[in-house]
Structure 1
Amino acid sequence: MSDLNDPRVLFAAERTLLAWNRTSLALIAFGFLVERAGLLLNAIAPSQAHAASMVLTFWLGLAFIALGALSAVYSSRQYAA
């Protein structure tokens, strides 16, 4: 068991927090990309774009954005603890 006063423990916790923050930012960016892909498909070929695919990309992108936000909040809480 490591000593909590050891600075290596704090540094390891900070590295873990930064890794989770990078992951959450990547999830948010991917969610934004997926959400905008539906609009791009509609702009490129409006006759072939279906309303269902627009709704699917919107909700899928929103789910990735929410997952990224939740992982950022969870990692911050873990770091604070």
Structure 2
Amino acid sequence: MSDLKDPRVLFAAERTLLAWNRTSLSLIAFGFVVERAGLLVDSIAPNAMHAAQMLATFWLGLAFILLGAFTSLFSAFQYRQVLATLTPAEFPPGYNARWGLLVNVAIGVFAILLTGALWFWRG
């Protein structure tokens, strides 16, 4: 439990959460690009890629998307644990510190749904 009674502790934890949020979004976006790159190359030059290469881009893209989802969900879990250690004096009056937590969980869930959609509609 923190006894600093300083809201900067909360804001430092929130900045860390937002940094992990950006990292997870980058991983998800990169995974989507990698997953769709095989389809793009196949549509531009149909004989340029073998089926194994198409499959590799599909699985590698899904792996990056799931890594982004895991990163988002785990950072939300870590942030929740930090919030539990803070005292009420470390929260500014009227400040809702749980919005970042909700956004990270939503991003993780949406990334998992994206993975399911790409799996279901794999080209």
Q: Give TM class, smaller chain.
A: over 0.9
* Residue number in structure 2 paired with 1:6: 6
Please name the residue that 2:80 is paired with: 80
AA paired with 1:8? R
Which sits farther off after the overlay, 29-38 or 40-49?
40-49
Greater share of helix? 1
Q: Which amino acid aligns with 2:19?
A: A
- 2:40 alignment counterpart: 40
Q: Offset at 1:6?
A: 1.6
Deviation at 1:29, TM superposition (A): 0.1
**Does the 8 Å CA contact 1:31/1:61 hold for their aligned counterparts?**
yes
RMSD over aligned CA atoms reads 1.1
Give runs of ≥4 in structure 1 deviating > 6 Å. Answer: none
Greater Cα offset, 57-66 or 39-48 = 39-48
TM-score (norm 2): 0.62
Q: Which residue of 2 aligns with 1:59?
A: 59
TM-score (norm 1): 0.94
Task: Give a deviation string over 1:37-78, Cα, whole Å, max 9, x none.
Answer: 000010011122210010000000000000000000000000
Q: How many residues in Structure 1 have an aligned counterpart in Structure 2?
A: 80
Amino acid of the residue matched to residue 57 of structure 2? T
CA distance in 2: counterparts of 1:12 and 1:43, whole angstroms: 46
Task: Indicate the SS of the match to 2:47.
Answer: coil
Does the CA contact (< 8 Å) of 1:3 and 1:9 recur in 2? no
In 2: Cα distance, 1:21 partner to 1:5 partner? 26
What runs of 5+ residues in structure 1 fail to find an aligned partner? none
* Paired residue type of 2:32: F
Counterpart AA for 1:13: A
Of all paired residues, the percent bearing the same amino acid is: 73
